[in-house]
Amino acid sequence: MSSVTLNNIVKRFGNFTAVHQSSLEIPEGAFVTLLGPSGCGKTTNLRMIAGLLDPSEGEILIGGKRVNDVPIHKRNLGLVFQNYALFPHKTVAENVAFGLKYRDVPADQIPKRVQEALELVQLPNVGERYPKELSGGQQQRIALARAIVIEPDVLLLDEPLSALDANLREDMRVELKRIQERIGVTTVFVTHDQSEALAMSDQIVVMSEGRVEQVGAPEEVYNTPASEFVANFLGASNIMEAKCAGMGGEGVTIEAPIFGTMTIPSEKAPRVTGAGPAKIVIRAEKLQLSANPAPEGVVSVPATVETVDYQGQAVRYFVRAGDTQLQAINMIDGHPFAEGAEVHLHLRPIDCAALPG
């Protein structure tokens, strides 16, 4: 295992800057996800770590050693890409063994190492088959076996689950995390899928337009977004203009439209430093619809259901309170509220976050 450090990395392609002053510290053994929309620079960062691209500025360290000038084949990295890149003319065993032949592993040890890798990905009996004889999920596991059989210092995964169908993708993300935890390898995972990032990561790096927006544990990034971009990209949020009326021992006092004056815990508004313009962030699942007024300690406002998006176990509502449309995602037991229904919106102040205006 090795840590990975990016110090003020910049990557330019001609006049276009793909990565701006990116600095990251990825601890040994951690599963860290680079998350963001297409074109945000996450894959560019991964390819620079791998040695497939050279940074225009800054330095990259793996295990504390500068690797800017170290070629890819000398970095001892495991790579898994979106298309798996398996050799169609080689058997599964030959695919998995490919990297070992270039690392001076004694020939009599290669079959044992290959079999151990296949057992780790729970495909012990497919060594003599060819990639075309395997399903997409099986091919993904073989690509992973080929990456880990070399006992890499760092495992780099570039959208490895995106080619799978939804159900298989959910199964594979659980399996992938299980394998990573078992072997303990430092892992950098690139995805645009927020559910993958939240489910798998020890740490999430949210990126936008070549810049790092926020770094933190999944629950930190989700519950206390550092910017409006993070709040919108990670989950479904209602973001409203508001005002900070003061700060005290009990928290930050926010005057919000519709919901009135609320006190939000200070840890949910770490970047609000004083009175003035602010924004309140309300996650859609924290806004509850009810036929009844709220109990004490819960803010309640009347609203009308405008749109119902039924999703099985949950339903997404678009509701109107005054002149404002809000979205709420609620678990349901029975029938959802119908369009046109008059409801009460329930909100606990402790479930809100605040940003500077």
For 75-130, write each residue's pLDDT tens digit: 999 999 888 789 999 999 999 999 898 888 899 999 999 999 999 999 999 999 99
Mean pLDDT of all residues in 20-33? 95
> Which pLDDT score, from 0 to 100, does residue 132 have?
93
Mean pLDDT of all residues in 47-55? 96
Strand order in the sheet with 237-248: 260-264, 251-256, 237-248, 276-283, 352-356
Does residue 35 surpass a pLDDT of 70? Answer: yes
Question: Residue 176 has which token pair?
Answer: 């992938």
* Sequence-separated (6 or more) residues with CB below 8 Å from residue 207: 34, 35, 36, 40, 41, 42, 45, 213
Q: 4-223 has which fold?
A: Rossmann fold (3.40.50)
Does residue 163 surpass a pLDDT of 80? Answer: no
Question: Average pLDDT of the chain?
Answer: 93
Per-residue pLDDT band for 249 (boundaries 50, 70, 90) equals confident
Does residue 172 surpass a pLDDT of 90? Answer: no
Round to the nearest angstrom and report the end-to-end CA distance of the chain: 42
> Which pLDDT score, from 0 to 100, does residue 297 have?
82
| Options 2.40.50.140, 3.50.50.60, 3.10.310.70, 1.20.1330.10; CATH of 236-356 | 2.40.50.140
Domains 4-223 and 236-356 share a fold: no
Percent of the chain, pLDDT > 90?
82
The one-letter amino acid at 131:
P
Closest CA to 269 of 225, 206, 218: 225
> Which pLDDT score, from 0 to 100, does residue 33 have?
97
In 42-150, where do the E strands start and end? Answer: 57-62, 65-66, 77-80
> Which pLDDT score, from 0 to 100, does residue 104 have?
82
Domain map of the chain by residue range?
4-223, 236-356
pTM exceeds 0.85 for this model: yes
Q: Measured on CA atoms in the order 248, 254, 255, 261, is the torsion positive or negative?
A: negative
Antiparallel, parallel or unpaired: β 77-80 and 154-158: parallel
> Which pLDDT score, from 0 to 100, does residue 1 have?
61
**Tell me: the pLDDT tens digits for 178-234?**
999 999 999 999 999 999 999 999 999 999 999 999 999 999 999 999 999 999 999
Strand order in the sheet with 314-321: 288-290, 342-347, 299-310, 314-321, 324-331
Per-residue pLDDT band for 162 (boundaries 50, 70, 90) equals confident
Residue 108, judged by CB atoms within 10 A of its CB (0-12, 13-18, 19+), counts as: exposed
- What is the CA 8 to chain-centroid distance, rounded? 22
* Sequence-separated (6 or more) residues with CB below 8 Å from residue 315: 308, 309, 329, 330, 332, 336
Does residue 2 surpass a pLDDT of 90? Answer: no
Does residue 250 surpass a pLDDT of 90? Answer: no
Does residue 73 surpass a pLDDT of 90? Answer: no
Beta bridge partners of 132: none
Asked if residues 193 and 186 have their Cβ atoms less than 8 Å apart, the reply is: no
Backbone dihedral angles phi then psi of residue 282, each to the nearest 5 degrees: -120, 110
Q: Which of 106-115, 247-256, 323-332 has the lowest mean pLDDT?
A: 247-256
